[in-house]
A and B are shown apart, each in its own frame.
Chain A
Amino acid sequence: MAEIAANARHDPEAAAATRRYFWARFLVYAVLTLFAVIYLAPLLVVVFNSLREQSDIARNGLISLPRSFRLDAWAQAWGTYCVSGTCEGMKRNFFNSLWMTIPATLISTLLGAMNGYVLSKWRFKGSEILFNLMLLGVFMPGQISLMPWAFLLGKLGLTNSTYGLVLIHVVQGISFTTLFCRNFYVSIPDDLIKAARIDGAGFWRIFRKIILPLSPPILIVTVIWQFTGIWNEYLFGVVFTSGQQQPITAALVALTAGGTTARAYDVMSAAVLIGALPPLLIYLFGGKYFVRGLTQGAIK
């Protein structure tokens, strides 16, 4: 670099090229920075407001650097803020979401892994067709299934319960998890399976000893994808649960809709962040897998 700069002093053409290069680089970073600001601004606004005093927000506006600092809003949003009569904050809804998301993620991923294993390594007549039929579930709009689910959940006694939502998310998730796992297992050489079968290994033994040890990459992708999707889901939550049984997405809408008078932006900001935190943390720590899931889910 220094050498180029030194030479440039003597050679006008090289100097022009260096300048052009410099300005091109500058432009690249300038545009990227501009977009980064646009992307980060809403997050910063919410984080700041969750830490500011309500009086500071009222006086200096929603978009402003914090001139006060306190954690009260977080405590209120978590445990004591009142929504339509009950003053328990978001805590219960947060755990509803957790107890809905974790079982639904694990069950659908496990089923997906076994289905993927069968559909890639134990094909039978018609298994390709069955696979394609299962894939249709990926594209189904939730609205189509609302009335049937309402009826079924009613019959099973699962209306207004987290278990009902787990059931819905497992059934809906199977097509995704099967697709992910099947496409991954297809790339495991069949000779490996054949050799194991000649050695007398059966269906489960091959699954445990060969398939599962090779699976972590795809299982992580699938778990992240399912967790994020189910945690963020809103339609089924708002339709099939109410009040204290609601997952956090539905509760957030209820919280921010209520109170048309002085809006408690500090508490609402903290509540929004509580709702956003689990998937955000997963994204920050598992970003690589998150992106892989995205591109895999999309390309297919």
Chain B
Amino acid sequence: MSTRDLTVPVTAPATPWRQRLGTIVPILVLAPSLAASFVYVFVFTLWTLYLSLSSSSLMPTYGFVGLDNYASLWANRRWNIAYTNLFLFSGFYIVGSMAIGLLLAILIDQRVRGEAVWRTIFLYPLAVSFIVTGTVWSWLYNPVDGIQAFVRGLGWADFSFALTANRNTAIYAVIITGIWQSSGFAMALFLAGLRSVDPDLIKAAQIDGASVSRTYRKVILPTIAPIFLAVAVIQIQFAIKTFDLVAALTRGGPGVSTTFPAIYVYDLMFQRGQIGEGAAAAMMMLAALAVVLVPYSVWIVWRRRAEGRNG
């Protein structure tokens, strides 16, 4: 790293003031962004942390109430629904989109024709907003107009597909739509991984007489194991931040059955005038992200160091 350090003034015929300017300009350029990021990351977080410990209701106030907001948050039935939904959604969403993504990636990797076309089709949902996706799928789930009506129209009169109309199944509508939206993303990452596997490794396995499926199971997939983890970590982040999709698809309903933490934060802060408790819920979201990301970052740094030592 020190070899890259260019701030050591080059012994060129530069005048002292130019030298000094040379070290100050980069810092000046960086300063506004640094200040903004610092405020955004640290000041805002501490601010919200403080609000979560305050008696703020309709307007922010700064009367200190300790952990009261957290206590009433965790005692709330709707928060209970929100994080139960988050766990349920995360599990199915991650496993589902990774399984489909891997399947599609392996299929595309079989030297299919028109690879670019297939890829474009599977990935386009990612370019479109969750608002658009959620809106369109809410129509498809609508029992009167959507898929149910379509299949019944084909002649299957008892066909029932009304996930979003029922409190117990609405969450699965969110899960299915989430998987639809993001399995293309998993596919893209897996495909990049599959392409990076050393061809000699695959050839060696084939020469040893391993079948295609055995080659994948024993040679290729273990090599791209880190990608599984990367995809999972990114998708957990998506899941924890899930807001738009639910807002457009079910609006948290029927009733409160598809409330997610992010939806609940929004509701508390802007619909119910419970800013303190809303801030507490937002801090819980941050905590959830930290639980996932801190160990992952530590592992990444550790792995990079290990690679640095070996290579």
Chain A interface (Cβ within 8 Å of chain B)?
28-29, 31-32, 35-36, 38-40, 42-43, 45-46, 61-64, 111, 114-115, 118-119, 121-125, 127-128, 130, 133-134, 136-137, 139-149, 151, 170-172, 174-175, 178, 190, 193-194, 197-198, 200, 202-204, 228, 231-235, 238-239, 249, 252-253, 256-257, 263, 265, 268, 272, 275-276, 279-280, 282-284, 287, 290-291, 294-295, 298-299
Contact = CB atoms under 8 A, between A and B. Distances in A.
B306 interface: no
Contact of A32 (B60, B112, B146, B289): B112
Given A35-B122, A123-B5, A200-B12, A232 B243 contact: no
Nearest to A193: B6
Nearest to A38: B180
B244 A234 contact: yes
Interface stretch (B28-36, B88-96, B197-205): B28-36
A146 B192 CA distance: 36
B131 A282 contact: no
What range describes how many residues of B lie at the interface? Answer: 35 or more
A31 B262 CA distance: 36
Contacts of B281: 143
B67 interface: no
A62 B103 CA distance: 31
Given A46-B136, A149-B44, 7 more contacts: A118-B30, A121-B6, A130-B34, A143-B282, A171-B40, A279-B127, A280-B127
B58 interface: no
Interface of B: 1, 3-7, 10, 12-14, 18, 21-23, 25-27, 29-30, 32-34, 36-41, 43-45, 47-48, 51, 60, 100, 103-104, 107-108, 110, 112, 116, 118-133, 135-140, 142, 145-147, 149-150, 153, 180, 184-185, 188-189, 192, 230-231, 234, 237, 240-241, 243-244, 247-248, 251, 262, 265-266, 269-270, 275, 278-279, 281-283, 285-286, 289, 293
Contacts of A28: 107, 110, 112
Contacts of A128: 1
A295 B192 contact: yes
B72 to A, nearest CB: 18
A174 B4 contact: no
Contacts of B103: 31
Nearest to B1: A128
B126 A143 contact: no
A235 B125 contact: no
Contact of A275 (B104, B132, B282): B132
Contacts of B243: 142-143, 234-235
Contacts of B150: 61-64
Contacts of A282: 127
Given A35-B100, A139-B237, A276-B128, A294 B38 contact: no
Contact of B23 (A43, A115, A124, A171): A124
A203 B40 contact: no
A145 B40 contact: yes
Nearest to B23: A124
Contact of A133 (B37, B108, B147, B269): B37
Given A123-B5, A263-B145, A139 B131 contact: no
Given A61-B145, A202-B22, A253 B230 contact: no
B127 A290 contact: yes
B244 A235 contact: yes
A198 B12 contact: yes
B130 A232 contact: yes
Nearest to A58: B145
A134 B34 CA distance: 7
29 contacts: A28-B112, A31-B103, A36-B118, A36-B121, A36-B122, A40-B121, A62-B139, A63-B149, A111-B33, A115-B30, A128-B1, A133-B37, A133-B38, A134-B41, A137-B41, A143-B243, A143-B282, A144-B282, A145-B44, A147-B47, A194-B10, A202-B22, A231-B129, A232-B129, A232-B130, A234-B130, A234-B247, A249-B131, A283-B127
Given A36-B121, A39-B121, A61 B244 contact: no
B22 A141 contact: no
A144 B120 contact: no
B47 to A, nearest CB: 5
B252 to A, nearest CB: 12
Nearest to B187: A35
